[in-house]
Structure 1
Amino acid sequence: MGEGSKVCVTGGSGYIGSWLIKKLLAKGYTVHATLRDLKNESKVGLLKSLPHAEGKLVLFEADIYNPTQFDPAIQGCQYVFHVATPLTHEPGSSQQYKDTTEAAVAGAKSIALSCVRSGTVKRLIYTASVVSASPLKEDGSDFKDVMDETCWTPLNDSLDYVFLDVPLYKDYTYSKTLSEKHLLSYGNDENGGRKLEVVTLPCGLVGGDTLVSSTLGSRVVCIAQIVQNEIAYTALKFLEGLLGKIPLAHIDDVCEAHIFCMESTSISGRFLCASSYISLQEMANHYARYHPEFNVKQEDEDGQRKDIKWTSTKLCDKGFVYKYDAKMILDDCIKCARRMGEL
């Protein structure tokens, strides 16, 4: 399918974006990738050095804070992967938006409109996050019995204790939840006489190898219990508090799931993307058993924790197969951290 097909990837220099581009190029696709700054030589150089990039990779400058900039990158493409997301909002960085949530939703809306205006885009695939799919009840008092695609994080004050007084967690949760809902509503409407298929992939905590160096990405959060990084560990605690356990996904499975959703004949809607659903205690036990050389942060056994079941099978029902289980994901995180000198 790759030959002759043009696809767009927003946020091309990020952890998921760069890995996705590498796989798309290997499959023969022509890729339009967006970056915030084409003068950033390390990010541009990384993408241009990927196998098959010459003649197949076209870079565009576009910033989520200026969403109309994405038009040229999307023009002529059949599929768009919207991976970019604003993580932090610096006061004064934008007169247009008051926080990351406003910027993210405006960006999602603008990119969907660009897809419709292009006249060529058949499907928009959004890299969502499982923070939008909390199984917490509306009042935040308890968890539901299962976590699946019907779960939506209740955006109200009852969640404040979960955010651990870290504004970034609240901003990120609100921005990813509201952006995903907005894009799904787009897929239900006839826009400008054309139907746009929209797929959202709320991905679990993503681990494995990496093409980019990042001091605090999701890959580092996966090994927070052994690298003794308090910021990363707080992120882990936040995820368990919000989701009951930690949904894990390997970077390779995540990108294959994106491509699977593009190459399917017809597909739309919401598909949770994670191969494992484990507790902090189970993660600590894994490291203690298989990597005794590390000093593993001890977890308090929580006997009161409700045993929530991960019952999402929608992606697999469509024919997708995960290749990596929890052990493989965590072991690959350690292997990568060793290679990068972080352990």
Structure 2
Amino acid sequence: MSCVRSRSVRRVIYTASVVSTSPLMEDGSGFKDFIDETCWTPLNLSYAYSNPNLTEYVISKTLTEEQILSYGTNSDIGELEMVTLPLGVVGGDTFQSYTPLSVALFISSLTNGEFTYQALRFLKELVGKLPIVHIDDVCEAHIFCMEQPSIRGRFLCANSYVSSSEIADYYRKNYPEHHVKQEYLKGPKREIKWGTTKLIEKGFVYKYDTKMILDDCIKCAKKNGDLLTTKNN
């Protein structure tokens, strides 16, 4: 509403979360065959591996994004362009002096952190697999949306959709100096398709693939002293 009152802002870009885009069926019976911008997290379900804080986080993120987008169809506030960018799990390196929580989720199979691993399991069961994106691509996506002559709507921001077991297996194969427990290498084989190309169709180009995202998470964690070298059994 501050943007409306300013009479000078013509576009609002809201950084949203992928927790609002679950492909869960409304009755909780399973997942849809795809995940894209038409998916909204059902709020009437009990989520696996959840706790009150995580459940409230999902509800607040979903309701907030819905409310933000509703302003874009409200003629009473003028021609304000509303854009939401639900981000996947954000990986990559950082200038911060600590490892961001989202990066800690990526490497939870190496650190055995109970909180981060439970959060990863929760997210996997909420959205089927893990949409992931590099922090540099996240920044560029925001700039891209700022620079368009006109843009509005919802755009999922992630360029890979992988299982937690695939992440663990990549680290096991490429970083053998770190131990990966066998339990992290197991998980359901879900065939949910990543169905969104909306940002790409607008002309956006992702620069970081899955390998680059995962490698930069390792680089970040090592730099901040969060990874100890051990031997795989």
Answer whether TM exceeds 0.5 for this pair. Answer: yes
Residue 257 of structure 1 corresponds to 141
Is structure 2 residue 30 aligned with structure 1 residue 142? yes
Task: Select which of 165, 170, 190 maps to 2:75.
Answer: 190
Residue 172 of structure 1 corresponds to 57
Higher RCO (C-alpha under 8 Å, 6+ residues apart): 2
Question: Could you report, residue by residue, the CA deviation over 1:72-121 in whole angstroms, capped at 9, with x for unpaired residues?
Answer: xxxxxxxxxxxxxxxxxxxxxxxxxxxxxxxxxxxxxxxxx000001111
Q: Distance in 2 between matches of 1:269 and 1:118?
A: 21
SS in 1 for 2:41: coil
Q: 1:300 to 1:215 in 2, by over 3 A?
A: closer
Q: Distance in 2 between matches of 1:220 and 1:300?
A: 17
Q: Which runs of 4+ in 1 moved over 4 A?
A: none
Q: Which amino acid aligns with 2:84?
A: T
RMSD (CA atoms): 1.3
Question: Could you report, residue by residue, the CA deviation over 1:164-217 in whole angstroms, capped at 9, with x for unpaired residues?
Answer: 24222111111110000000000111234x211000000000011112244661
Is structure 2 residue 174 aligned with structure 1 residue 290? yes
Residue 107 of structure 2 corresponds to 223
Q: Comparing 329-338 with 216-225, which one deviates more in the overlay?
A: 216-225
Is 1:250–1:329's contact at 8 Å kept on the other side of the alignment?
yes
Q: How many residues were matched structurally?
A: 226
SS in 2 for 1:125: strand
TM-aligned CA deviation for residue 311 of structure 1: 1.0
SS in 2 for 1:127: strand
TM-aligned CA deviation for residue 273 of structure 1: 0.4
- Please give the TM-score of this superposition, normalised by the length of structure 2: 0.93
Between the aligned residues of both structures, percent identity stands at 58
Is 1:116–1:191's contact at 8 Å kept on the other side of the alignment?
no
Q: Which has the larger radius of gyration?
A: 1
Q: Which amino acid aligns with 1:115?
A: C
Is 2:72–2:80's contact at 8 Å kept on the other side of the alignment?
yes
Alignment of structure 1 residues 194-209 onto 2, 5 Å: 194-209=78-93
Residue 211 of structure 1 corresponds to 95
Q: Distance in 1 between matches of 2:179 and 2:34?
A: 33
Is structure 2 residue 119 aligned with structure 1 residue 235? yes
Residue 30 of structure 1 corresponds to none
Q: Distance in 1 between matches of 2:185 and 2:166?
A: 11
Question: Could you report, residue by residue, the CA deviation over 1:234-279 in whole angstroms, capped at 9, with x for unpaired residues?
Answer: 1110111001100000000011001101101100000000011000
Q: 1:172 to 1:161 in 2, by over 3 A?
A: closer
Q: Distance in 2 between matches of 1:202 and 1:169?
A: 17
Is 1:187–1:196's contact at 8 Å kept on the other side of the alignment?
yes
